[in-house]
């Protein structure tokens, strides 16, 4: 913050809140879910709570896993303005380890689409957040699975199984007689992230220019095919 002339946003603030909420969880026995964890110390607190047997779960966003404050330069790319903010490279690595060992249960996107004028402005007044829905899968495959930090089983658990479990939704069953709710993807297909890559009207991605592996080819929701061969199907098809 000193180098770039920005207001500071200390990691300690997040860590104190996590610690307080874990204390309340311990007192009440109420399940606790930590959203958008961004620091290594925060992950350590969650890890300790789980070892204690407390009903604590946590999630992390790809931008906190694969970007850091070092990516923010004097060009002031407002697509890197997040809430929580990007932390240190050491925090990012610690969060990757927390995903790998199951301390962090879920990968979420914090998908935050914004109009161009809400981002193409001074850092101070730009909106928080970036889009993440269309890059989350290739980012995880490229940076976690292909580097042998996470198996495909672990990937599916973090991006599909655990979120449903935490939200107390019925598990998806792939069997005759059940409606299809699943995503098919090609893990070997390479893609370059450009503004034209996105189906979203918003283009405020923090990963423009990245070359990644893994593309969702088909998506089924409630028995309807809403993405067919990488093309969105308005209204879906049965």
pLDDT at 2 over 60: no
pLDDT band at 3 (very low <50, low <70, confident <90, very high): low
pLDDT 10s digits, 72-127: 988 999 999 999 999 999 999 999 999 999 999 999 999 999 999 999 999 999 99
pLDDT 10s digits, 179-195: 999 999 999 999 999 99
Q: How far apart are the C-alpha atoms of 225 and 218, rounded to whole Å?
A: 7
227 in Cβ contact with 155 (< 8 Å): no
12 in Cβ contact with 39 (< 8 Å): no
92 in Cβ contact with 144 (< 8 Å): no
Which residue among 21, 23, 91, 110 is the active-site one? 110
Q: How far apart are the C-alpha atoms of 57 and 30, rounded to whole Å?
A: 12
The pLDDT value recorded for residue 57 is 99
The pLDDT value recorded for residue 90 is 98
- Sign of the Cα pseudo-torsion (107, 110, 111, 116, in order): negative
Distances (CA, A) of 157 to 96, 105, 163, 165, 172: 15, 8, 8, 10, 12
Q: Would you tell me how many other CB atoms lie within 10 Å of the CB of residue 126?
A: 19
Q: Is 186 a catalytic residue?
A: no
Nearest to 77 by CA among 136, 141, 6: 6
CATH number for the domain formed by residue range(s) 11-171: 3.20.20.140
Q: How far apart are the C-alpha atoms of 195 and 202, rounded to whole Å?
A: 9
Question: Which H or E element spans position 156?
Answer: helix 152-156
The pLDDT value recorded for residue 1 is 58
Q: pTM of this prediction?
A: 0.93
Per domain, the residue ranges of the chain are 11-171
């Amino acid at each position: 913050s000193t180098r770039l002339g920005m207001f500071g946003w200390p990691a300690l603030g997040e860590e104190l809140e996590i610690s307080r909420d874990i204390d309340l969880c311990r007192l009440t026995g109420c399940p606790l879910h930590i959203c958008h964890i961004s620091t290594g110390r925060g992950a350590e607190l969650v890890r300790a709570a789980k070892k204690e047997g407390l009903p604590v779960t946590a999630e992390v966003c790809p931008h906190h896993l694969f970007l850091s404050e070092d990516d923010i330069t004097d060009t002031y790319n407002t697509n890197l303005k997040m809430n929580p903010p990007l932390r240190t490279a050491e925090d990012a690595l610690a969060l990757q380890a927390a995903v790998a060992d199951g301390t962090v249960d879920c990968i979420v996107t914090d998908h935050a689409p914004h109009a161009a004028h809400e981002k193409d402005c001074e850092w101070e007044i730009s909106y928080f957040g970036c889009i993440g829905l269309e890059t989350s899968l290739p980012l995880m495959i490229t940076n976690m699975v292909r580097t042998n930090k996470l198996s495909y089983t672990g990937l599916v658990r973090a991006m599909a199984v655990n979120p449903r479990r935490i939200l107390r939704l019925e598990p998806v069953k792939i069997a005759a007689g059940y409606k299809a709710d699943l995503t098919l993807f090609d893990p070997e297909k390479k893609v370059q992230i450009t503004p034209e890559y996105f189906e979203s009207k918003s283009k405020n991605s923090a990963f423009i220019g990245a070359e990644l592996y893994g593309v969702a080819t088909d998506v089924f929701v409630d028995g309807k095919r809403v993405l067919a061969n990488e093309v969105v199907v308005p209204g879906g098809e049965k």
